[in-house]
Structure 1
Amino acid sequence: MTNEQDIEVFLEDQGTLAQKKYRFSEVKKMTNNFTDKLGEGGFGVVYKGKIHNGYHVAVKILRASKGNVKDFINEVASISRTSHVNVVQLLGFCLEGKKKALIYEFMPNGSLDKFISNKGLERTSSLTWDNLLQIAKGIAKGLEYLHKGCNTRILHFDIKPHNILLDDNFCPKISDFGLAKLCPGKESTISVSYARGTIGYVAPEVCNKHFGGVSQKSDVYSFGMLLLEIVGVRNNINVEATETSEYFPDWIYRKLEQDQDLKSDNVTATEEKETERRMIAVSLWCIQTFPKDRPTMSRVIEMLEGNMNSQEIPPKPVLSSPTIGLVPELTTSSLQSE
């Protein structure tokens, strides 16, 4: 589907064209001829802009390729159905020949990855442990909404720090729905033609159906990996686990079995240690090898809020290293999308 009119007809049939449509000349004007670049990825480039009422926006310009036509349709069709404090708001779009743009609300604090990586001092200077816990809860609530709060269930398939945006109060908002899949039926599992997502966050069943059906539990796995990164545990894989080619969850359990600290050098207070342990425990439940062993996002929220015994470490999965040797052709940072 490459014809502009065909795409619009399709989106109208889906009931997803409530957002304002802009001409490309208007997009150039609102971005001051693309002068303030916020970021760049495989999908295209994001610029800061301002619309007529002075409201700041983020403008994503999609690269002209066949794959990005699908990403554009996915993103507009899925996010147009959402309205939640923890999901970024789509304000408009541009569809003019091969020129495609998406206009979003602007998030002053950018993406989460810059606050939880080892680069710079932004994490220690800006985010307290309470901040990190509130961010984790917000992402979980956004995912719960996508899975059960929308009229049409939405699976995101690319939950990672780069796709979590933070507003001026550090409220997290899930973004980038280019790989999302709509699930209009009540089936618990869905069919996907290709593995989709980003290596390191992709659930085993997305790569190989031997581990179970692809479902909302696949997003739960990605959230678990994200949560480990929020806590700071996952950063250690860059130093130790990578050198030994050890599967990351195996590395965590080995550390736990040896009664070694997983992190965190900046944890001092008892309350902070309890928060850290709770978040690690929840993440380990989320990254269980088989989907049936993972909690739903509703249960994840309960555990993060401390409304149940959330600090119990789950048993180590019987089957370890689920993706090793299963997808040797995956050498890039992102898997192929449908």
Structure 2
Amino acid sequence: MNFWRKKTTKKNSEANQRLRLFQENGKVFLEDLVELCNGQSNPIKAYSANQILEATDNFSERNHLVRFEFMYRGMLENRPVLIKRPVWKLYTSDTLEKICRDIAVSSMVSGHKNFLKLLGCCLEFEYPVLVCEYAERIPYKTPNLGMFSWGLGTRIKIAKEIAIAVSYLHTAFSRTMIHMDIQPSNIFLDSNGTAKLSGFCLCVSIPEGETFVKVDAERVEGVLDYLEYKYVTSGVVTEDTDVFSFGVLLQNLLTRNCEVVDCCSDNDDESLFEYEQNVMKLRISDRVSKFVEEGRVFEILDPKMLESLVDEEHERQRMEAVLMLSLRCTGHRGHVPKMIEVAKELRRIEKWTQR
């Protein structure tokens, strides 16, 4: 009798805990929705903790897609899904706010084909869990696999589709949305090869009628090579912040695999001057610009891509055009374009025919 009483008590305790988490997480999430879009967004389906645990086999290692990261493969309602769950290394004082921002922005853009579609979320865990359509993240750390066997046309297509997605973020809403974390780990391909942007934990909105917003310069987050210098040194966020990151993405799509360094706000022991110097030393964009200036462009291009060229002269012209566009994005050549201009230029380059 005592055994069943204890078992019932435990179940009731777990149910009460999940209800409490649902209410607390839901409050933060709704506050984010109100800030960003006055509470108006696509309907978001709520999944239970039991559904998530069953879909991932209790977050089993065999369903864990990337070691030390937070994505799991699962089956939910007879369809494959991606389940995003924060892992220990992400736990900070603002982890909940970041995840709710990811859910809120994902819900706003889910109708667009170039964003990873949010199917729903679960608020019954300590930190909310996202359920997304299934797609494969582009492999960017394995030199002999994935993107490193793609031809130039595929790389330009992916870049164009991500540029369209970023343009949408910048222009489709009453408040300009700045992604703040455009880099390969947030880009996915579905079964049709359509590129999709994800990862809105760091997303910042610019108030209506304004062109920038200032954030705490001491809390710089993201991948160091992809961070705009102005943002790093002053905390000023503009559309150019994303344009810079996208320019570096273009460069990484065409050049040899480059190591990147994570930059977190925990590096309080490093002075701002030292930090600025490290940014300048590590920037991919500075290295690409130097090679272009010295006429050594093809020394840095991915040899796998060069091997796949059909019409070498024509394809080299397209590669040079993309690289020059990337250097405009990073402020190394002429004025920095808007993302909608970048998307149009990539469309034009994609359609180039042999002259």
**TM superposition score normalised by structure 1:** 0.77
Unaligned segments of structure 1, at least 5 residues: 311-338
1:277 to 317, 320, 326: 320
Q: How many Å separate the matches in 2 of 1:85 and 1:17?
A: 14
Percent identity between the aligned chains?
24
- What one-letter code is carried by the residue in structure 1 that aligns with 2:209? K
Partner of residue 25, structure 2: 4
CA distance 1:206–1:124, shift in 2 (3 Å): closer
Instruction: After superposition, give the CA deviation of every residue in 1:50-71 in whole Å (9 maximum; x if it has no partner).
Output: 221x121100112473332011
Partner of residue 221, structure 1: 244
Find out whether 1:93 has 2:129 as its counterpart.
Answer: no
CA distance 1:80–1:8, shift in 2 (3 Å): same
- Tell me by how many angstroms 1:135 deviates: 0.5
CA distance 1:104–1:277, shift in 2 (3 Å): same
- Stretch deviating more after TM superposition (177-186 or 98-107): 177-186
Contact 2:49 2:125 in 1 (8 A): no
Partner of residue 205, structure 1: 230
Q: How many Å separate the matches in 1 of 2:170 and 2:33?
A: 23
Q: How many Å separate the matches in 1 of 2:344 and 2:319?
A: 16
Aligned residue pairs, count: 293
SS at match of 1:200: helix
Partner of residue 290, structure 2: 254
SS at match of 2:226: coil
Find out whether 1:29 has 2:65 as its counterpart.
Answer: no
- After superposition, where does 1:1-338 map in structure 2 within 5 Å? 3-11=24-32, 13=34, 14-15=38-39, 16=41, 18-35=43-60, 36-41=63-68, 45-52=70-77, 54-63=78-87, 65=91, 66-82=93-109, 83-96=111-124, 98-107=126-135, 110-112=136-138, 114=139, 116-117=140-141, 119-125=143-149, 127-193=150-216, 194-209=219-234, 213-233=236-256, 235=258, 245=281, 247-260=283-296, 261=298, 262-265=300-303, 266-267=305-306, 268=309, 269-288=312-331, 293-306=335-348
Q: How many Å separate the matches in 2 of 1:168 and 1:97?
A: 30
SS at match of 1:84: coil
Q: How many Å separate the matches in 2 of 1:257 and 1:208?
A: 26
- Stretch deviating more after TM superposition (97-106 or 155-164): 97-106
Q: How many Å separate the matches in 1 of 2:127 and 2:200?
A: 18
- What one-letter code is carried by the residue in structure 2 that aligns with 1:224? G
CA distance 1:258–1:153, shift in 2 (3 Å): closer
Greater Rg over alpha carbons, structure? 2
- What one-letter code is carried by the residue in structure 2 that aligns with 1:25? N
CA distance 1:249–1:221, shift in 2 (3 Å): same
Unaligned segments of structure 2, at least 5 residues: 1-20, 262-277
- Stretch deviating more after TM superposition (61-70 or 158-167): 61-70
SS at match of 1:62: coil
Which one has the bigger helix percentage? 2
SS at match of 2:214: coil
**TM superposition score normalised by structure 2:** 0.74
Instruction: After superposition, give the CA deviation of every residue in 1:241-297 in whole Å (9 maximum; x if it has no partner).
Output: x9x95653333233223221232434242232122111101110001169x931001
SS at match of 1:154: strand
Contact 1:278 1:304 in 2 (8 A): no
- What one-letter code is carried by the residue in structure 1 that aligns with 2:119? L
Contact 1:78 1:181 in 2 (8 A): no
- Tell me by how many angstroms 1:133 deviates: 0.8
RMSD of aligned residue pairs (Cα, Å): 3.0
Q: How many Å separate the matches in 1 of 2:281 and 2:29?
A: 47
CA distance 1:185–1:245, shift in 2 (3 Å): closer
